[in-house]
């Protein structure tokens, strides 16, 4: 016997498990609403034209693939800072930002978690209830005790803001608070500007450490507006962490392009922070890959490609909004005594549909329509070909 002889089987990932079950289903009319990716009106994962054109440019250069610096591609890092913090950002101009390229948004969160675990080890990490299912596991894997703060209220389909604020007011000093910058996953319910301001005030008063997760910049109102929460927090004289991702906004899921940024008190502090972050990276994977970052940098640096990308991102955003409205109006006709208007108000790819576990199971068994057990459905997986079938099935299971 070895140390592996009694190794238990790990539980399946709740979301990737849905996709495995979907792939094994032979029903030709099956629909996967469990995924976390944007698909177009044909149900296909898009390759953006801006990305393809940038790749053409990169290919003609035929550059060799040396190691990148530990912190990543410099051109990319600069573009991340401009996009996330804004061109005229004071923290950017004052040299107080430290940005490192990361393996997607997940990688940015994990670098931040490992960094915090080294230098702020006694803190707890608080995540929203509910949250992206990897938040808890990721921070626990980094060694933190993870707790949650109230967020979604199923009664109102909104944020239970009073409870949220009261809970944060009771957080121990130094608590790391993970906040979804926009397009809350899984609920689709976002905070408004007044609520962000109120959270910001509590963060300062209680000496909390905000860690913003910006995985969907551009999927709610546009790249600038979706970063307002980041901009609010960057006005504060406290450390702030931001993990951002281009997986969705560039449809570059498999290239693993993201970043972690820390806002520091001074240029000198930023240098010390960067040196330690480089150590975290060096002992994990040494340095990041080249391709995805050079695509994003090439697009964002070139005004034409940049505009093309903004247009393509806008088209994704608008298609999702259109499908939300279509779903709501079809459901209104099919089930007139229930109000699904809240679905049209939600932001980003996801919707907490209000389906319970029994309904989710029935959708799967009787109709080959796959949702996450929590009732989360991906609106970006709806299209005009599958909408009718989805509405019919929803009507059957809800009635």
Residues lying near ligand PMP in the complex (CB under 6 A): 36, 104-106, 132, 180, 185, 213, 215, 245, 247, 258
Q: Other CB atoms closer than 10 Å to residue 81's CB: what's the count?
A: 19
- Least Å distance, CB 62 to ligand PMP, is 28
- Least Å distance, CB 87 to ligand PMP, is 24
196 catalytic residue (yes or no): no
Distance CA 322, CA 339 (A): 18
- Least Å distance, CB 164 to ligand PMP, is 17
Q: How far apart are the first and last CA of the chain?
A: 55
- Least Å distance, CB 225 to ligand PMP, is 18
Burial 358-368 (b: 16+ CB within 10 A, else e): ebbebbbeebb
In the bound state with ligand PMP, the residue whose beta carbon lies nearer, of 180 and 324, is 180
Distance CA 389, CA 187 (A): 23
Inter-residue contact 112 to 263 (CB < 8 Å): no
- Least Å distance, CB 215 to ligand PMP, is 4
Sign of the four-CA dihedral 280, 282, 283, 285: positive
Residue in 114, 160, 196, 248 annotated catalytic: 248
Bridge partners of residue 180, in order along the sequence: 213
Residue in 132, 160, 196, 309 annotated catalytic: 132
In the bound state with ligand PMP, the residue whose beta carbon lies nearer, of 167 and 245, is 245
132 catalytic residue (yes or no): yes
278 catalytic residue (yes or no): no
In the bound state with ligand PMP, the residue whose beta carbon lies nearer, of 86 and 292, is 292
Bridge partners of residue 376, in order along the sequence: 352
Bridge partners of residue 176, in order along the sequence: 125, 209
Residue in 190, 213, 226, 309 annotated catalytic: 213
* Strand, helix or coil for residue 369: strand
Tally of residues, the chain: 399
Distance CA 60, CA 69 (A): 23
In the bound state with ligand PMP, the residue whose beta carbon lies nearer, of 253 and 396, is 253
Structure tokens at 210: 């905000």
62: left (phi over 0), alpha (psi -120 to 50) or beta: left
In the bound state with ligand PMP, the residue whose beta carbon lies nearer, of 81 and 368, is 81
DSSP state of 317: H
Distance CA 27, CA 304 (A): 43
In the bound state with ligand PMP, the residue whose beta carbon lies nearer, of 216 and 340, is 216
- Least Å distance, CB 104 to ligand PMP, is 3
List residues with catalytic annotation: 132, 213, 248
């Amino acid at each position: 016997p070895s140390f592996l002889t009694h190794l238990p089987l790990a539980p399946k990932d709740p979301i990737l498990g849905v996709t495995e079950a979907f792939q094994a289903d032979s029903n030709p009319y099956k629909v996967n609403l469990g995924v976390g990716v944007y698909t177009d009106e044909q149900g296909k994962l898009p390759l953006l034209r801006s990305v393809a054109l940038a790749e053409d440019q990169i290919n003609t250069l035929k550059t060799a693939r040396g190691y990148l610096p530990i912190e990543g591609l410099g051109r990319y890092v600069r573009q991340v800072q401009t996009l996330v913090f804004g061109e005229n950002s004071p923290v950017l101009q004052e040299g107080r930002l430290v940005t490192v390229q990361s393996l997607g948004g997940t990688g940015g969160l994990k670098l931040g978690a490992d960094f915090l675990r080294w230098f702020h080890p006694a803190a707890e990490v608080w995540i929203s209830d509910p949250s992206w299912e990897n938040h808890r596991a990721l921070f626990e894997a980094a060694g933190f005790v993870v707790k949650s703060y109230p967020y979604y209220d199923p009664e109102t389909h909104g944020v239970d803001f009073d409870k949220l604020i009261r809970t944060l007011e009771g957080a121990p000093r130094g608590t790391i608070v993970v906040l979804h910058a926009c397009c809350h996953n899984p609920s689709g319910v976002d905070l408004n500007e007044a609520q962000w301001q109120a959270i910001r005030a509590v963060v300062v008063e209680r000496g909390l450490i905000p860690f913003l997760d910006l995985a969907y910049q551009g999927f709610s109102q546009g790249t600038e507006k979706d970063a307002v929460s980041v901009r609010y927090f960057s006005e504060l004289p406290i450390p702030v962490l931001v993990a951002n991702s281009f997986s969705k906004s560039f449809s570059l899921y498999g290239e693993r392009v993201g970043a972690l940024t820390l806002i520091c008190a001074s240029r000198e502090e930023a240098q010390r922070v960067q040196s330690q972050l480089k150590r975290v990276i060096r002992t994990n994977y040494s340095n990041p890959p080249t391709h995805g970052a050079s695509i994003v940098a090439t697009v964002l640096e070139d005004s034409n490609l940049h505009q093309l990308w903004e247009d393509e991102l806008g088209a994704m955003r608008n298609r999702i909004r259109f499908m939300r409205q279509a779903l709501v109006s079809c459901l209104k006709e099919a089930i007139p005594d229930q109000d699904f208007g809240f679905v049209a108000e939600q932001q980003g790819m996801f919707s907490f549909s209000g389906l319970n576990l029994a309904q989710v199971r029935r959708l799967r068994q009787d109709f080959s329509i796959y949702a996450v057990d929590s009732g989360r459905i991906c609106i970006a997986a709806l299209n005009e070909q599958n909408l009718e079938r989805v509405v019919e099935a929803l009507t059957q299971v809800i009635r």
